[in-house]
Structure 1
Amino acid sequence: MNSLYYVSIVIFSGMLCAKLLSKIKLPNVTGYLIAGVIIGPYVLNVVPLDAVKSLGILSDAALGFIAYGIGSEFSIKSIKKTGKTVILITIFEALGAVFLVDLAMIFIFKQPLPFSLTIGAIAAATAPAATILVIRQYKAKGDFTTTLLQVVAMDDAVGIIAFGISLAVAQSLIGGVATSLAMSIMKPIIEILLSIIIGIILGIIFSYIGKKVRGENELLSLTLAFIFFAIGISLKFNASTLLTCMMLGATITNLSSNSSRFLSIADRFTPPLFIAFFTIAGLELNISVIKSVGVIGLGYMVFRVAGKMLGVYVAASITKAEENVRKYLGLALIPQAGVAIGLSLLAEKSLPPEYGQPIRTIVLAGTVIYELIGPLASKYALIKAGDIK
């Protein structure tokens, strides 16, 4: 079967499952993920594993559009209003997860230090996509939502840097693994800076050209071309697609007087793309790995969430943020997917098998759980915060 056949199956299945589950008030994204699990290679095998790999371009495109939308929340006006709070919350929630998982692995589960440091660093990563779709579906608006969007946007940058440092330390502790501590720390920082520079340059060019475009169809075509180019050039130079497209959106927001037109035009293209993205994410969830992670895997899942919630609470208390942010923002940071899986793959390649393979298995199992319960937790947090009416 060709790829377009599987694309049609993916979109139709996602739509159908989301429609059925909406009867019991579940978010659409949960329906898409469950549809993917059911038709995927690990259950019914309607879409086999080799076909899943061929659909990766859709996932890359969707993630780019999601990041582009997140970037639009970073106007200078909103940053001035929430900047200190957002930065502190992001650092505390990410490092809260890192330290709590580290401590649990070392002192409760008696795991070796290299294993503990590496899996603890992966705990920092949060997947923004599921939370963004919940916000869009229920048209959530308010200070809580704005803060949440900005935190999930910055989270991966903190997580990538923390992982680079932790992996370098883990490798030096193991010994016999050829590595430069300085280069291991600098590599993620260079990746982040490169992503930011590419995004800003493309945003400046887009803002200039966009002023000269009048027709809606031409503007849509221009927007798609720039987002696809941002994704493509990021992949070519091993930069972060998420950060590049986020900076593209942020630059447009702050440079163009007509930014709302540029940013909203992309929404005409994204609904089927987002359905495909989350259904494909479901295809990749192998639920059988859950039973193989044992008590250590369960500990990782629990202490990661606890660390994020504790980090949010402490940072929000220090900055005197709203009570809703203090109490509920951590719940909306549960999802974990693409970045964490990528980091676990890097850990598997960089560490001896006795460390790398269990890390990969635990992170994959965590992804299954987090992606299924995360949207529900995000919806609950947004309702309790009063941003979903």
Structure 2
Amino acid sequence: MNILFALAIAMAVGMAMTRLIKLIHLPNVTAYLIAGLLVGPYVLKVLTPEMNSELSIISDVALGFIAYSIGSEFKFSYIKEIGAKPMVITAFEGCVASLLVFLTLLVLGQPLPMCLALGAIAAATAPAATLMVVRQYKANGPVTRMLLPVVAMDDALGLMLYAIMMAIARTLDSGAALSVMTLLVKPLIEIVGSLVMGVLIGTVMVFCLRFFHSRGNKLTMTILIVFLAVGLSTMLDLSSLLVCMMIGATMINVSNDSPALLEQCDRFTPPLFLLFFVLSGASLDLSVLPTVGVVGIAYVLSRAIGKSLGATIGAAIEKCDKNIIRYLGMTLIPQAGVAIGMARMCLTDLPAYGPTINAVVLAGTLIYELTGPVITKIALTKAGEIKEGGAKPAAVTAAK
């Protein structure tokens, strides 16, 4: 089948599925993943494994834009305004979730590289599903106000943990002799190199934008920079996620054009993200699902417990409001975009374990996206931040 024709069918099925998912008020990412399963090699056979491999560039670029968007959340003036509490809570809930998933899988006898990868992926949270609940029910209060900056910073922590753990996991998987150089120095070089390159490319981008003033040229420059960052990162064995994240962080803090650029990116990227998630669903190897049952359940449960426990510890240390201590962790369960991207990268970074990691994360995503919004609503209701009759019309919510 012609690859463009296959992509057209995949996009059409993805868009059609969002209309069905809208009826039960679930996030679009769930619709895209289900669409991917339908058009993949196990059902309609529109997208074959060979096609998926050829289209990996779409995933690479989509991940670059996701990381760029995450970096743009880190405006120094905003971080200074919100203070240390959200950062402390984010550090605890992300790290405790990662550690608990890692230890749980290790106890179950799973390979160390796979434990490291899934531990890193566990830190990421999907803000879209959580924000959907906040907007739909007009939630407001201490928990909601703490939740918003925490979910904004969560994925950035996940990217950094992923860069660290994957550098170690690749070393272990390669069979190279373990030493201080392989376990500490090389990962440190990769992380620092990625951050420095991101700042340098971001600075060059800010300088070049002085000479281009039309909206079209500015959008073209943004796309060019993301392509450049992803390409150079691959060539130099650096983390494209960290590089693109630092480009976004540099832009938002240095350039006056950044709000307009981000708005243009938001209009450009929806078809790209649709294809990314559909391809992710199509890449799910259903044949490994029976073998990952215990691992999948362990991942889903240990991550949820780790998120709740970590948020509780962080909030207690910072002496936050009692409702934040009790209920914030319950609102951090959803997981989607960045986690799926990390799992997809494992297909090439850790080919021996990639299919299993991908299956665990995609199956977990479907579970989290189905249950996460419900748990978030329960938590905010118990905290007294959702009032009776506070929901917006369903059509409005679905549009967001």
Under a length normalisation based on structure 1, what TM-score does the superposition of the two structures give? 0.82
Aligned-partner residue type, residue 215 of structure 2? E
Aligned to 1:124: 120
Partner SS for 1:80: helix
Aligned to 1:18: 18
Aligned to 1:330: 332
Structure 1 window deviating more from structure 2 (207-216 vs 190-199): it is 207-216
Taking the aligned partners of 1:6 and 1:255, their CA distance within structure 2 comes to 42
Name structure 2 gaps, 5 residues minimum. 136-143, 393-400
Distance 1:60 1:342, change over 3 A: closer
**Residue 373 of structure 1 is aligned with which of 345, 364, 367?**
367
Aligned to 1:153: 156
Distance 1:273 1:103, change over 3 A: closer
Distance 1:117 1:222, change over 3 A: closer
Aligned to 1:265: 264
Conserved 8 A contact 2:151-2:332: no
Structure 1 window deviating more from structure 2 (263-272 vs 330-339): it is 330-339
Conserved 8 A contact 2:14-2:274: yes
Conserved 8 A contact 2:308-2:332: yes
Taking the aligned partners of 2:130 and 2:90, their CA distance within structure 1 comes to 19
Quote the offset at 1:259 in angstroms.
2.1
Taking the aligned partners of 1:251 and 1:382, their CA distance within structure 2 comes to 33
Pairing 1:88-237 to 2, within 5 Å after superposition:
88-105=88-105, 109=108, 111=109, 115=111, 119=115, 122-126=118-122, 131=126, 134=129, 143-162=146-165, 164=167, 178-237=177-236
Pairing 1:71-86 to 2, within 5 Å after superposition:
71-82=71-82, 84-86=84-86
Aligned-partner residue type, residue 74 of structure 1? F
Partner SS for 1:332: coil
Conserved 8 A contact 1:62-1:277: yes
Aligned to 1:354: none
Distance 1:293 1:51, change over 3 A: same
Aligned-partner residue type, residue 67 of structure 1? A
Taking the aligned partners of 1:238 and 1:167, their CA distance within structure 2 comes to 12
Matched, 1:308 2:307: yes
Quote the offset at 1:329 in angstroms.
4.1
Distance 1:201 1:120, change over 3 A: closer
Taking the aligned partners of 2:347 and 2:86, their CA distance within structure 1 comes to 27
Aligned-partner residue type, residue 309 of structure 1? S
Partner SS for 1:24: coil
Matched, 1:363 2:357: yes
Taking the aligned partners of 1:205 and 1:278, their CA distance within structure 2 comes to 31
Taking the aligned partners of 1:314 and 1:292, their CA distance within structure 2 comes to 34
Distance 1:208 1:377, change over 3 A: farther
Quote the offset at 1:200 in angstroms.
0.8
Quote the offset at 1:229 in angstroms.
1.4
Aligned-partner residue type, residue 155 of structure 1? G
Conserved 8 A contact 1:94-1:125: no
Quote the offset at 1:191 in angstroms.
1.7
CA deviation digits over 1:320-365, x for unaligned, max 9?
456457333431357733324545865665xxxxxxx5xx565233
CA deviation digits over 1:121-141, x for unaligned, max 9?
63232486x825547878969
Structure 1 window deviating more from structure 2 (115-124 vs 44-53): it is 115-124
Quote the offset at 1:95 in angstroms.
3.0
Paired residue total: 371
Taking the aligned partners of 1:78 and 1:381, their CA distance within structure 2 comes to 28
Conserved 8 A contact 1:334-1:377: no
Taking the aligned partners of 1:348 and 1:53, their CA distance within structure 2 comes to 13
Aligned-partner residue type, residue 326 of structure 1? L
Aligned to 2:283: 284
Conserved 8 A contact 1:101-1:116: no
Conserved 8 A contact 2:94-2:154: no
Under a length normalisation based on structure 2, what TM-score does the superposition of the two structures give? 0.80
Structure 1 window deviating more from structure 2 (93-102 vs 252-261): it is 93-102
Conserved 8 A contact 2:116-2:165: no
Aligned-partner residue type, residue 153 of structure 2? Q
Name structure 1 gaps, 5 residues minimum. 350-356
Quote the offset at 1:179 in angstroms.
3.2
Aligned-partner residue type, residue 223 of structure 1? T
Report percent identity of matched pairs.
33
Distance 1:220 1:321, change over 3 A: farther
Conserved 8 A contact 1:161-1:185: no
Distance 1:306 1:362, change over 3 A: farther
Structure 1 window deviating more from structure 2 (327-336 vs 261-270): it is 327-336
RMSD: 3.3
Taking the aligned partners of 1:364 and 1:61, their CA distance within structure 2 comes to 19
Quote the offset at 1:248 in angstroms.
0.8
Quote the offset at 1:253 in angstroms.
0.5
Taking the aligned partners of 2:250 and 2:47, their CA distance within structure 1 comes to 39
Quote the offset at 1:39 in angstroms.
0.9
Aligned-partner residue type, residue 41 of structure 1? P
